[in-house]
Structure 1
Amino acid sequence: MKEILDAILASDSTPADFENLPLPESYRAVTVHKDETEMFAGLTTGEKDPRKSLHLDEVPVPELGPGEALVAVMASSVNYNSVWTSIFEPLPTFAFLERYGRTSPLARRHDLPYHIIGSDLAGVVLRTGPGVNAWQPGDEVVAHCLSVELESADGHDDTMLDPEQRIWGFETNFGGLAEIALVKSNQLMPKPAHLTWEEAAAPGLVNSTAYRQLVSRNGAGMKQGDNVLVWGASGGLGSYATQFALAGGATPICVVSSEKKAGICRSMGAEAIIDRSAEGYRFWKDEHTQDPKEWKRFGARIRELTGGEDVDIVFEHPGRETFGASVYVTRKGGTIVTCASTSGYMHSYDNRYLWMNLKRIVGSHFANYREAWEANRLIAKGKIHPTLSKTYPLHETGQAAHDVHRNVHQGKVGVLCLAPREGLGVRDPETRAKHLPAINRFRNV
């Protein structure tokens, strides 16, 4: 691994240099273990601690197949799917690996007693398998997390509809929280040249997810002038939704849980902000009963901020805790678009407010190839910026996941894999200088 890192850090390394580097027999990776899936039995979700379940193991380098690439990972980041994996909710991910392993002899590589997690990376291509022509050793890349087979016609118009669609590093093995990752070559995209490794690794999953959910015709199809309610507007997903709304001529109504997070939204340019903690919204009276009066109070507050207008789009991801309110406050004919359920999967809402007011609920999951590429292009052009707030070394990934699980983070939490320190990997300092305050916005909190 030292030879690989030296070649990446050297300014004169060529593709041939990388191609001729010997691959190590093993590498360090963050894993969960199949024989520990019951370790949190009897505990509530909040009591489960990723620091106990995430391990830093030495694992063998996987076999490289057709259409695949091995990437030296300089940096990665923690997403909520990493948290779900670490606490074995809603089910252990080994069920995904077993199912995938049954699909082909090559896929059997993924069905292991350990799961290497992580759905983001920024790094350098080391090897490519047969049939890969667009990438070569030495290319600096980021990876999106869509893994598909595309042997069925179902996915040819929208790759997210492929029957064999999976999220890399969550429903497949050999993820990005490691020193080496195995990806399909069509997951690779050019690394934005003005960003460091850790900054470039941060947007991937959440940026692409927010793009499809909010901007794409497959999601809400946001247009200029729309009012967009963004839950968790300073978080991993919400921070990109807020940027997309502002960049697209819409008005984000940012819902946050503290004055510090409200300040982050203001620094992005948002003006309509609701601090739900300070204003004391309680949408549930108890575990089984929601409070419509609180929905109404919340809707009235939104209209105060918008000049009397209801929201056209609700950017939903908390799920159970907020969904009833989201359906209620959306304008007639508006859209609730949901991509997650971090507070619970079983949603409850008053359907009268949906059907009688012609509202739509749209499910949105990650992004197809084109959407991921467009989202990354906006990062590379400096139109949308990383929201990295803090970075941990690889051996402290458990703490990074703990931060995200406890919601004590801002934006995205990064992880240095092979990169020996922060600040490396910038190839376009001129573009970086133009956007440095925005790049560091979440760092300066």
Structure 2
Amino acid sequence: MDSLAEALLSGATPEELNRHPVPDEYIAAHISAADVGMFDGVADKDVRKSIRVGKVPMPELAPDEVLVAVMASSINFNTVWSATFEPLPTFNFLKRYARLGGFAARHDRPYQVIGSDAAGVVVRAGAGVSRWGTGDHVVVSCIQVDDHEPATHADSMVSENQRAWGYETNFGGLAHYAVVKASQLIAKPAHLTWEEAGSNMLTASTSYRMLIGDKGARIKLGDIVLVWGATGGLGAFAVQMVRSAGGIPVGVVSSEAKAAAARALGCEAVVNRAEIGLDGDPTPEKTIEQGKRLGKIIRREVGEDPHVVFDYVGRATFGISVFVVRRGGTVVTCGSSTGYTHEYDNRYLWMNSKRILGCHAANLHEQAECSRLFGLGKVSPILSGVHSLAETGEAARLVQTNQHMGKIGVLCMAPREGLGVTDPELREKIGAARLNPLRKL
């Protein structure tokens, strides 16, 4: 471990940290451009074969950037996409970004440090950074934006140059250090451990935008919300937000174990997808039958059709979502883990005045508001397991094969779990027993 890291872990002051040099190399989970094509014609694209953990060169810091010593990160599904080089190799994103020139050119390298979540400590700030400084405890937004672009100041998620950090950029969070724009930083919730704080922002803030924010479905007291994959990284946060907003969450899961977890999260009703015959490729006839079956179960359990359907599953479920949501209701989507080409019967959309709403990640204000909910104890982390940085491939494999619930955390520079709490009184007030409900299962 380098001297800067050793000083940080020994409790050095910001002044002392600034006296230690930034290392020339650091340890990171990364993928290699030389491996693109390794899974061509392979049925099981095992991410353990493509994710490497080792030393990479330290990049130069731009004036508007900070260097964060990453204490903990987590696995998101975009980590799986990166490591399988699908739907296209992320090195294409890096080359496109590099064409902008200047500091952007650094991102085009024969490797990519992956990971779109992080919690850690600022150890250097660029000359143009005034809000953040060495020693600050932060969590990192998953979105990088160009704050010189006018659209960014209305809603950065519709700006042309927003990028998913650690997926469409280099130098991501599954590493000892991460290079991020200062405009990505949010103060770390003081009552959370590093691994708890490092597992939230991408999925929690996406769920916030989809359900709570003014760009999303804007659920209200009494709304029935159907949540596909209710124990996944997105779904588990969605269930909590619906419950905290006074709504009625109805979860769809894939096993009885996950059904128990969904109830623990707050689902008022839980549907095992086997009950609706959700298997194989959807056809128009199957979709209508499955929708009728699901609608009957929901009405039996909660009395009405859902006002909102929360769908990130994609091709396998989207036609059912459009069918099952009530007249005037909204289907909100942020992804397509089972396929991007969706088919649905448009009669059930237009003749019933339904809406389809697309959401992608969240802007910085939405992320800050989401983080505030953690500080208030309205939303809890959903860790189900924590791995070391060396085990990043194994952790990503769990997500790839859907053998996880909630979020899988990764300790980066933190030597063990349970560190990073700077407000133990708040943790006690919120109740440590309420945190990570999935891990207890």
TM-score class, shorter: over 0.9
1:374 equivalent to 2:369? Answer: yes
State the alpha-carbon separation in 2 of the partners of residues 305 and 134 from structure 1.
50
State the alpha-carbon separation in 1 of the partners of residues 320 and 311 from structure 2.
11
What does residue 314 of structure 1 align with? 309
1:415 equivalent to 2:414? Answer: no
Instruction: Specify the code of the residue in structure 2 equivalent to 1:134.
Output: R
* Alignment map for 1:92-111 (pairs within 5 Å): 92-111=89-108
Say which of 319, 338, 343 aligns to 1:348.
343
Q: Give the CA deviation at 1:216.
A: 0.9
Instruction: Specify the code of the residue in structure 2 equivalent to 1:321.
Output: A
Tell whether the 8 Å contact from 1:119 to 1:170 is kept in structure 2 after alignment: yes
Distance 1:126 1:294, change over 3 A: same
What does residue 321 of structure 2 align with? 326
Secondary structure, counterpart of 1:254 in structure 2: strand
Question: What is the identity percentage for the equivalent residue pairs of Structure 1 and Structure 2?
Answer: 51
TM score, norm. by length of structure 1:
0.96
Secondary structure, counterpart of 1:333 in structure 2: coil
1:438 equivalent to 2:437? Answer: no
Secondary structure, counterpart of 1:118 in structure 2: coil
What does residue 231 of structure 1 align with? 228
Tell whether the 8 Å contact from 1:70 to 1:128 is kept in structure 2 after alignment: yes
Instruction: Specify the code of the residue in structure 1 equivalent to 2:435.
Output: I
Q: Give the CA deviation at 1:283.
A: 6.1
State the alpha-carbon separation in 1 of the partners of residues 327 and 190 from structure 2.
43
TM score, norm. by length of structure 2:
0.97
State the alpha-carbon separation in 2 of the partners of residues 286 and 181 from structure 1.
41
1:294 equivalent to 2:293? Answer: no
State the alpha-carbon separation in 1 of the partners of residues 2 and 95 from structure 2.
34
Unaligned runs of 5+ in 2: none
1:119 equivalent to 2:138? Answer: no
State the alpha-carbon separation in 1 of the partners of residues 285 and 96 from structure 2.
38
Deviations 1:183-228 (A, max 9, x none): 0001111111111111110101001100001111101111111110
Tell whether the 8 Å contact from 2:276 to 2:294 is kept in structure 1 after alignment: no
Say which of 146, 149, 153 aligns to 2:150.
153
Distance 1:256 1:286, change over 3 A: closer
Say which of 266, 271, 274 aligns to 1:274.
271
Deviations 1:229-252 (A, max 9, x none): 001111100000000000000000
What does residue 15 of structure 1 align with? 14
Query: Which aligned runs of 4 or more in structure 1 are off by greater than 6 angstroms?
Result: 285-289
What does residue 245 of structure 2 align with? 248
Secondary structure, counterpart of 1:84 in structure 2: helix
Root mean square deviation of aligned Cα: 1.4
Secondary structure, counterpart of 1:32 in structure 2: strand
State the alpha-carbon separation in 2 of the partners of residues 284 and 41 from structure 1.
23
Deviations 1:41-82 (A, max 9, x none): 0124xx110000001121111100011000001110000000
Deviations 1:378-423 (A, max 9, x none): 1122211100110111111001010000000010001111111111
What does residue 190 of structure 2 align with? 193
What does residue 168 of structure 1 align with? 165
State the alpha-carbon separation in 1 of the partners of residues 67 and 282 from structure 2.
50
Instruction: Specify the code of the residue in structure 1 equivalent to 2:130.
Output: N
* Alignment map for 1:56-135 (pairs within 5 Å): 56-135=53-132
Deviations 1:26-55 (A, max 9, x none): 0011111111110000124xx110000001
State the alpha-carbon separation in 2 of the partners of residues 240 and 410 from structure 1.
11
Say which of 335, 339, 363 aligns to 2:334.
339
Deviations 1:139-160 (A, max 9, x none): 1111011101132222221011
Tell whether the 8 Å contact from 1:150 to 1:164 is kept in structure 2 after alignment: no
Q: Give the CA deviation at 1:286.
A: 6.3
Instruction: Specify the code of the residue in structure 1 equivalent to 2:59.
Output: P
Tell whether the 8 Å contact from 1:146 to 1:167 is kept in structure 2 after alignment: yes
State the alpha-carbon separation in 1 of the partners of residues 106 and 57 from structure 2.
11
Tell whether the 8 Å contact from 2:123 to 2:135 is kept in structure 1 after alignment: yes
Tell whether the 8 Å contact from 1:231 to 1:316 is kept in structure 2 after alignment: yes
Please, which moves more after superposition, 149-158 or 391-400? Answer: 149-158
Q: Give the CA deviation at 1:10.
A: 3.5
1:364 equivalent to 2:364? Answer: no
Q: Give the CA deviation at 1:431.
A: 1.9
Tell whether the 8 Å contact from 1:254 to 1:273 is kept in structure 2 after alignment: yes
Instruction: Specify the code of the residue in structure 1 equivalent to 2:5.
Output: L
Tell whether the 8 Å contact from 2:276 to 2:290 is kept in structure 1 after alignment: no
Tell whether the 8 Å contact from 1:284 to 1:291 is kept in structure 2 after alignment: no
State the alpha-carbon separation in 1 of the partners of residues 345 and 362 from structure 2.
29
Secondary structure, counterpart of 2:420 in structure 1: coil
Tell whether the 8 Å contact from 1:285 to 1:291 is kept in structure 2 after alignment: no
What does residue 215 of structure 1 align with? 212
Tell whether the 8 Å contact from 1:283 to 1:290 is kept in structure 2 after alignment: no
* Alignment map for 1:130-141 (pairs within 5 Å): 130-141=127-138
Secondary structure, counterpart of 2:439 in structure 1: coil
What does residue 423 of structure 2 align with? 428
What does residue 4 of structure 2 align with? 4
What does residue 33 of structure 2 align with? 34
Instruction: Specify the code of the residue in structure 2 equivalent to 1:83.
Output: V
1:144 equivalent to 2:132? Answer: no
Tell whether the 8 Å contact from 1:283 to 1:325 is kept in structure 2 after alignment: no
State the alpha-carbon separation in 2 of the partners of residues 101 and 381 from structure 1.
40
